[in-house]
Amino acid sequence: MKYRVIVILGITMSLLVIGLFGIEYAFVSQMAEVRQEQFDETVKRTLAQTMRALEEQETMRYIDKEMAYKPITFLGDTLPYQLPMFSSRSDSNSTTRVRPEVYISTKHGEHTFEQTSRTLQNKLRERYNKERAQLDDVLIRMLVSTSPKELNDRLDVKYLEQVLNRELDNNGINLPHYIIVVAKDGKEFYNGKPEGLRRGKDYYTQALYPSDPSPLNHYLKLFFPTKDSYLAQQMTLITPFFIVTLLILAVFIFTLTIISKQKKISEMRTDFIHNMTHELKTPVSSISLASQMLNDEAVGKSPKMLKHIGNVINDETKRLQQQIEKVLQMSLLENENSALKCKEIDINELCLNVAQNFALKVQDKGGDIDVQLEADDPFIWADSLHITNIVYNLMDNALKYTPNNPLLKVKTWNNGKFVYFSISDNGLGIASEHIKHIFEKFYRVPTGSVHNVKGFGLGLAYVKKVVNDHKGEITVDSKPGKGTTFTVKLPVFNSN
């Protein structure tokens, strides 16, 4: 897949995800606004119902007081009736029930069924009109009377809270709440905030006794401290949509990362094949040229010439063998479950042998190798070929990245049930931004002004793979311009 296609795909998916988030955000915002409006409307309706119940209670209390303890005067006359029991009051303040006298006759005359029914209806109509007039008179006097206006004499706070709680339950609001009653002078007449309940920031206001002819400016504040969390809980149904969107975004990012990484690996593999082809052609061409010289009768076959041709063939064969080893290392990297031929190995002896093989190369560059074999229990259970290769690769890197007067240090030691070996140099060092990538396949650290460092970016990836296959660990400590130290930790061999 071309890089341009990956970029277009990434931009397209990004725009789609952003659009999806935008739509979800608009939907959630609108839903939250609707929920808020519904809650506000329900609370306002509840407060109106509470005020109506409060006024009805006050009206009934006034009627009971007026009609139970005072004779009622209507248009200057004392009525012989009281509500609600159709009673009359005698001079001795005793109450007797009033029963209409009705006589029924089966004969023609004044007391027939028809006449009696008509008489009864007239009596009831007359009584209804009198009692209605009585009630109207009571209500008129209630409205114009100088009844107590102070909240102390007028408001029953417990009854108010009882009615408010009932109306809230009836309207489906079961949230912690409290009320504050504020008098007309602005001072708090009653504060119902319970202990331990935080004070809400928002509140609802309702005038007390709104039907009074002259409003007295007493009002009620209703607080819901947990309203915000309650409304947020109402939005939990939208949570799965956000989770699914985030999962889509995560999968998209992961997919793009994999595609980008595979693209990079593909490019590195292509470069590797080109470089490997070039590196293989050089020794093959040299060996082919040496063979032609041996077969050419025109070329003198002096001992000096034969020795020179033999050295060329030997050197190029070693070089070709190294390139083949790189290909085998790459094959090992591609195989996750590599087959190891493990046996008991002395890590001290192995490091010493590799250091001796490198001694001449180091001395040719004017350097030296310091070997410190301090491991008292140096035996490990490992594949001899691969462990030798990782020591060789680490020392080869140390030598390649130390241009002048290399000082290499090889050290072994024990710590608990593990044996350690480290290889240090005084070379170029590795910058911190490159350290986290050095164990990746085909990755090569830029060498700056040093242009003769050859490789394919497989050595350290191979080292990491072999160490992990042996249940070990590898760490690196490096400072640019001061050198690098690679430390390998392997479990000690246990004969049991």
CATH number of the domain where residue 223 is located: 3.30.2200
Determine the average pLDDT of the residues in 332-354: 81
Higher pLDDT among residues 307 and 372, named by residue:
372
The pLDDT-based confidence of 117 (bands split at 50, 70, 90) is: confident
- 193 and 209 in a single domain? The answer is yes
The pLDDT-based confidence of 454 (bands split at 50, 70, 90) is: low
The pLDDT-based confidence of 146 (bands split at 50, 70, 90) is: very low
For 95, the 3-state DSSP assignment is: strand
Tally of domains within the chain: 4
Q: What's the CATH number where 438 sits? A: 3.30.565.10
Ramachandran assignment for 227, one of left (phi > 0), alpha (psi -120 to 50 degrees), beta (any other): alpha
Whether 485 shows a pLDDT value over 60: the answer reads: yes
For tokens 């114009």, the residue is: 144
Lowest-pLDDT choice from 334-338, 341-345, 346-350: 334-338
Which of 204, 243, 165 has its CA nearest to residue 36?
204
- 43 and 139 in a single domain? The answer is yes
pTM (2 decimals)?
Answer: 0.46
Whether 310 shows a pLDDT value over 60: the answer reads: yes
Cis peptide bond N-terminal to 84, omega within 30? yes
- Range picked from 91-100, 370-379, 388-397 for highest mean pLDDT: 370-379
- Range picked from 57-71, 99-113, 366-380 for highest mean pLDDT: 366-380
What's residue 374's pLDDT?
93
Is 496 domain-assigned?
Answer: no
What's residue 87's pLDDT?
41
Range of the domain at 129: 3-144
As a whole number of angstroms, the distance between CA 157 and CA 163 comes to 10
Higher pLDDT among residues 5 and 495, named by residue:
5
DSSP 8-class letter at 238:
G
What's residue 475's pLDDT?
94
Last residue in a domain, options 202, 233, 264: 233
Is 35 domain-assigned?
Answer: yes
- 20 and 72 in a single domain? The answer is yes
What's residue 490's pLDDT?
95
Is 370 domain-assigned?
Answer: yes
As a whole number of angstroms, the distance between CA 251 and CA 273 comes to 32
Is 83 domain-assigned?
Answer: yes
The pLDDT-based confidence of 334 (bands split at 50, 70, 90) is: low
Burial tier of 59 (Cβ tally within 10 Å: 0-12, 13-18, 19+)? middle
Last residue in a domain, options 332, 366, 401: 332
What's residue 200's pLDDT?
62
As a whole number of angstroms, the distance between CA 463 and CA 394 comes to 8
- 166 and 206 in a single domain? The answer is yes
pLDDT in tens, 192-234: 887 766 666 678 898 888 877 666 678 888 888 888 877 777 6
- 305 and 227 in a single domain? The answer is no
As a whole number of angstroms, the distance between CA 77 and CA 67 comes to 15
- 10 and 108 in a single domain? The answer is yes
- 476 and 382 in a single domain? The answer is yes
- 172 and 311 in a single domain? The answer is no
- 478 and 360 in a single domain? The answer is yes
Q: What's the CATH number where 310 sits? A: 1.10.287.130
Last residue in a domain, options 332, 354, 388: 332
- 315 and 348 in a single domain? The answer is no
Q: Which two tokens stand for residue 209?
A: 């006794």
pLDDT in tens, 280-296: 777 787 788 888 877 87
The pLDDT-based confidence of 350 (bands split at 50, 70, 90) is: very high
E strand map for 194-265? 203-207, 219-223
As a whole number of angstroms, the distance between CA 489 and CA 467 comes to 8
DSSP 8-class letter at 235:
T
The pLDDT-based confidence of 27 (bands split at 50, 70, 90) is: confident
Mean pLDDT of the chain: 78
Determine the average pLDDT of the residues in 380-390: 89
Q: Are 95 and 89 in contact (CB under 8 A)?
A: yes
- 264 and 127 in a single domain? The answer is no
Whether 89 shows a pLDDT value over 60: the answer reads: no
DSSP 8-class letter at 200:
P
Whether 459 shows a pLDDT value over 60: the answer reads: yes
- 207 and 291 in a single domain? The answer is no
Whether 125 shows a pLDDT value over 80: the answer reads: yes
The residues, ordered by sequence, that sit 6+ positions from 188 with a Cβ below 8 Å of its Cβ are: 180, 181, 182
